[in-house]
Structure 1
Amino acid sequence: MLSTRILTAIVTIPILTFILYQGGIYWTLLFALIAALGLFEFYNMISSKGLAPLWLLGYLTMFLILFSSYYLEFIGIIIFILIFTIVLFTIVFYPQKTIGEISLSLFGSIYIGYLLHYAINVQTLNNAFWIILLAFILTWASDVGGYFFGRLFGREKIAPLLSPNKTWAGAIGSIVFSVVITIGYFSFVPLNNIEFINLITLGIIASIMAQLGDLFISSVKRYCNAKDSGNIIPGHGGVLDRFDSFILVLPTVYYFFTFYLNMFI
């Protein structure tokens, strides 16, 4: 299993990096594909629970949110239309469609669409490629640090009902390795000179967010009695299995460059 994971990473990481470096429409289509596959897996999981997600409404909602940066002036009326649609669906299709199914369908759309819309927003920043690459690297660093520290020192479980293999030692290792990688990354890439304490802050928060994203999708899988969210990525499971941490690290990195640095430096 580990060898398959490593081989998949060796093949996919250069392709991912190349697409991000090209930017533009390739960048946008990449994250649209990730979002579409992620929502597909989310709906498949809740379908296995005996619930019937609203596929069309869900995908429409997700893509409206994902690309909301392009039409922010209309976001108010779009939200109103979505709320009206929910009300209408709840009334017209009751009891075939319940509020539980509608709520879960739209939560998946909003969770995936809103968090990944930060990837679209990153394109507007200076050094966009290096910033999005940082988000990916911090995600991988947290994962790698947690795995090896957990294997070497892990005893006490952090959330045994959600993820039996997660330990406090692994959680600490994730943070430590993320901080080290953050410092190393800023030593080699053409980004702003940022104080040491701010790099430590970024590494800590990004790792915590990565672990929370992982545990959250684990909770969805446990609820749906699913081992993995899908099987599209050899050795890794589904898209949500691979990007569950990234989609919470992404807004963390985005706000680090757009809000934190402006407020505290």
Structure 2
Amino acid sequence: MKTFFTRTASALVFVAVMLGGILWVPFTFFLLFFLVNFFALQEYFKLIRQVDADYREASAWHRWGVLIASCAIIMAFTGEAFLAAGISLGFLGWWLAVIFLLVLPIGEILLSKDFSLKNIGYSALGLLYITVSLGLLIDIRLSDSMIRFTGSTGAGGQPGWMIPLLLICFIWINDTMAYIIGSLIGRTPFFPSISPKKTMEGSVGGMILAVAVAGIFGYYWGQEWLDLRHWLALAGIAAIFGTAGDLLESKLKRMAGVKDSGNIMPGHGGFLDRFDSLLLAAPFAWIYVHSFMIP
């Protein structure tokens, strides 16, 4: 019972922080995912150290340099959205990212006992997997073109936070429905070597129901903001690539021999555990948005 209340309380706090960060103002959205990136990347490094002992030998210069470069890359994705003293946060981030990404390999050669291209590859993969994905999500949120986009009724534009929030909601619906259906009728294992509890019936059922819910809501109430085809497409992206993202992180944890990536949320794991699905869904949502939604 105590565990149930702990999980419930931490989940409520998580939802409140997420909604506040996403819905309040653009800067809180940036700040929210800036922090998610910072802590998720550290969890990724911790997992890699468990997977490959050689990564433990990476110098402090390497570890902190990659973190600073990651923060700079996230800042760069804000573009001209945030200005202070005539300098944009995006401009500052872009130059910091360039400097650190150029200097980091040089410092690695000079300061590390054993220079390792493999370790640089692990770090670069973390930047691509986590930082670029969250940066693309921030880009969707801050895009002026997205804010001006109108639905099929032409009644008005959808707010910038809508696409990221829909992705998160569709991922949650997919996960919830997959769990329920898998518990009720799941029989066929779905990648048992990675995630033994997932079933084919649950995974497919969750995807279908996520798209169905999006279609029903979009048809009856949502076309003021988005065309029905966009509701269906975004739900499909969230369901398919969200599931793949969950499996990817499960594989990484299994290789590292751990159950959770961290313990920031009692009963719910770490940042990677909470955002693994979003990390893979966000880039594909960005591609879709810029290919089919921006006028």
**Which amino acid is the alignment partner of residue 63 of structure 1?**
C
Once the two structures are superposed, the pairs formed by residues 92-111 of structure 1 within 5 Å of their partners are 92-93=110-111, 96-111=114-129
Paired residue secondary structure (1:233): coil
- CA-atom RMSD in angstroms: 2.8
CA distance in 2, matches of 1:143, 1:112: 20
Q: For 2:130, which of 104, 112, 123 is the aligned residue? A: 112
1:123-160 per-residue CA deviation (whole Å, 9 max, x = no partner) reads 22311122221111011111111111111111111111
Partner of 1:55 in structure 2?
63
The farther-off stretch of 254-263 and 72-81 is: 72-81
CA distance in 2, matches of 1:180, 1:130: 19
Once the two structures are superposed, the pairs formed by residues 1-265 of structure 1 within 5 Å of their partners are 4-49=6-51, 50=53, 51-52=55-56, 53=58, 54-69=62-77, 70=79, 71=90, 82=101, 85-86=104-105, 88-89=106-107, 91-93=109-111, 96-121=114-139, 122-124=141-143, 125-126=146-147, 127-186=159-218, 187-189=220-222, 191-195=224-228, 197-261=229-293
1:28-75 per-residue CA deviation (whole Å, 9 max, x = no partner) reads 111010001101111112223422253112212312322223258996
Unaligned runs of 5+ in 1: none
1:84-119 per-residue CA deviation (whole Å, 9 max, x = no partner) reads 643x35643565342222211221122111000022
**Which amino acid is the alignment partner of residue 33 of structure 1?**
L
For the structure 1 residues 33 and 251, does the alpha-carbon distance in structure 2 shift closer, same or farther, using more than 3 Å as the test?
same
Q: Does the 8 Å CA contact 1:65/1:110 hold for their aligned counterparts?
A: no
Q: Does the 8 Å CA contact 1:145/1:176 hold for their aligned counterparts?
A: no
Paired residue secondary structure (2:161): helix
Q: Does the 8 Å CA contact 2:129/2:279 hold for their aligned counterparts?
A: no
**Which amino acid is the alignment partner of residue 163 of structure 1?**
S
For the structure 1 residues 4 and 173, does the alpha-carbon distance in structure 2 shift closer, same or farther, using more than 3 Å as the test?
farther
Q: Which has the larger radius of gyration?
A: 2
For the structure 1 residues 201 and 131, does the alpha-carbon distance in structure 2 shift closer, same or farther, using more than 3 Å as the test?
closer
Output the TM-score relative to the length of structure 2.
0.77
| Displacement of 1:249 | 2.2
Q: Does the 8 Å CA contact 1:66/1:114 hold for their aligned counterparts?
A: yes
Unaligned runs of 5+ in 2: 80-89, 148-158
CA distance in 1, matches of 2:233, 2:46: 37
For the structure 1 residues 232 and 94, does the alpha-carbon distance in structure 2 shift closer, same or farther, using more than 3 Å as the test?
closer
CA distance in 2, matches of 1:68, 1:115: 13
CA distance in 2, matches of 1:12, 1:75: 30
Percentage of pairs with the same residue: 26
Paired residue secondary structure (2:250): helix
| Displacement of 1:251 | 3.0
The farther-off stretch of 59-68 and 212-221 is: 59-68
| Displacement of 1:242 | 0.7
Q: Does the 8 Å CA contact 2:74/2:93 hold for their aligned counterparts?
A: no
CA distance in 1, matches of 2:92, 2:263: 39
Q: After the TM superposition, which segments of 4 or more aligned residues of structure 1 sit over 6 Å from their partners?
A: 72-77
CA distance in 2, matches of 1:111, 1:259: 21
For the structure 1 residues 16 and 73, does the alpha-carbon distance in structure 2 shift closer, same or farther, using more than 3 Å as the test?
closer
Size of the aligned set, in residue pairs, is 261
Paired residue secondary structure (1:245): helix
